[in-house]
């Protein structure tokens, strides 16, 4: 099979701004493409990764009104989680859902297509189940529902494949028992420590573990988490540990249990068979609970995708972009 996974050309925002969402937080947003086109909200991953310019290129700017935002504490949003003085109590899944709805109202969008991957799939699902009447379609890749069992797999269970790296990860959190119980909560404390040296080491250890789980995909040729600029890296590790130490403030299994709220919303779930970060079992469960979603498992893709996976995502977004609003 031949794939033509060519993203749209680079594009600059035609509008951008900072949205005051309360609690001293201001969320960065930008809008690209056709102002009269179909609204598409891009929901970035992480949590805490922020929106890069590449995400603007996933959707047809001629047919779509492309809206991106940096979730609280990361990217260009303020205050930034890399600053230990930033209060993380006001950074939860419920806060992010409220921010998305406030942004929708600010931009006068009636309904929008949601596109997200990894953590972005969790947040998109949580938003859609809270506000199903505001969602026209959903396209998700590298799907996770951020259950505690899924987080436990990533930060403890995957150790059976990468024992050397996991030993180093566990050693970075003194006092954590040999089985790693409580390791994410320990890193949540360390990445918010007032001592910059402690924060820097914890961030480096966290990112090194994240990169190790991607080793099968990168073959060590790149370290996508470690290679980030320091402020972005600090915010990413702190926000990730903060969210996962609290089960993303979601009742265990709630997004699967409440998938019926998505009835009538067309969906596409696109997932790599080789994804070690988010094993394919979760997306299989979600597809069974959400009959309006079509599931595609891409055999050669992991968490970071592949040409075949990118091709499928682009084609699906193009198809939904042409659907009636």
Active-site amino acid positions:
118, 275, 303
Distance CA 201, CA 235 (A): 13
Q: What are phi and psi of 313, to 5 degrees?
A: -65, -45
At 195 the three-state DSSP class reads coil
Residues 6+ apart with CB under 8 A from 173: 183, 186, 187, 190, 202, 205
Which residues does the chain have with pLDDT short of 70?
1-4, 325
pLDDT for 304 equals 93
pLDDT for 1 equals 45
Strands 38-43 and 112-118: parallel
Q: What are phi and psi of 302, to 5 degrees?
A: -110, -150
Contact 40, 66 (CB under 8 A): yes
H-assigned helices in 142-259: 148-155, 163-171, 183-190, 196-213, 215-218, 230-245, 254-257
Contact 26, 86 (CB under 8 A): no
pLDDT for 265 equals 97
Token pair of 299 as six digits: 């055999």
Closest CA to 75 of 47, 94, 99: 47
Instruction: Read off the pTM.
Output: 0.96
């Amino acid at each position: 099979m031949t794939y033509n996974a060519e993203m749209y050309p680079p594009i600059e925002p035609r509008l951008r701004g900072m949205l005051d969402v309360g609690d001293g937080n201001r969320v960065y947003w930008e809008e690209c493409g056709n102002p009269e086109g179909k609204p598409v909200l891009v929901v970035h991953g992480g949590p805490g990764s922020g929106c890069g310019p590449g995400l603007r290129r996933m959707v047809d700017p001629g047919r779509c009104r492309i809206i991106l935002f940096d979730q609280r504490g990361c990217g260009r949003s303020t205050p930034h989680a890399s600053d230990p003085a930033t209060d993380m109590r006001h950074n939860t899944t419920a806060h992010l859902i409220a921010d998305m709805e406030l942004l929708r109202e600010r931009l006068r969008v009636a309904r929008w297509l949601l596109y997200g991957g990894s953590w972005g799939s969790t947040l998109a699902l949580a938003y859609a189940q809270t506000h199903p009447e505001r969602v026209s379609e959903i396209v998700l890749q590298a799907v996770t529902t951020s259950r505690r069992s899924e987080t436990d797999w990533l930060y403890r269970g995957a150790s059976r494949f990468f024992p050397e790296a996991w030993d180093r990860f566990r050693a970075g959190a003194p006092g954590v028992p040999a089985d790693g119980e409580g390791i994410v909560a320990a890193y949540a404390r360390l990445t918010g420590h007032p001592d910059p040296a402690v924060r820097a080491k914890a961030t480096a250890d966290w990112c090194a573990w994240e990169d190790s789980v991607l080793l099968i995909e990168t073959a060590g040729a790149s370290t996508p988490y470690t290679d980030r600029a320091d402020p972005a890296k600090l915010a990413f590790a702190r926000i990730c540990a903060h969210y996962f130490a609290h089960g993303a403030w979601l009742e265990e299994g709630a997004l699967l249990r409440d998938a019926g709220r998505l009835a009538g919303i067309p969906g596409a779930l696109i997932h790599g068979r080789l994804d070690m970060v988010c094993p394919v079992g979760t997306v299989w469960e979600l597809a069974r609970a959400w009959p309006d979603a079509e599931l595609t498992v891409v055999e050669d893709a992991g968490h970071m995708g592949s040409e075949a996976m990118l091709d499928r995502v682009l084609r699906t977004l193009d198809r939904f972009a042409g659907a009636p609003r």
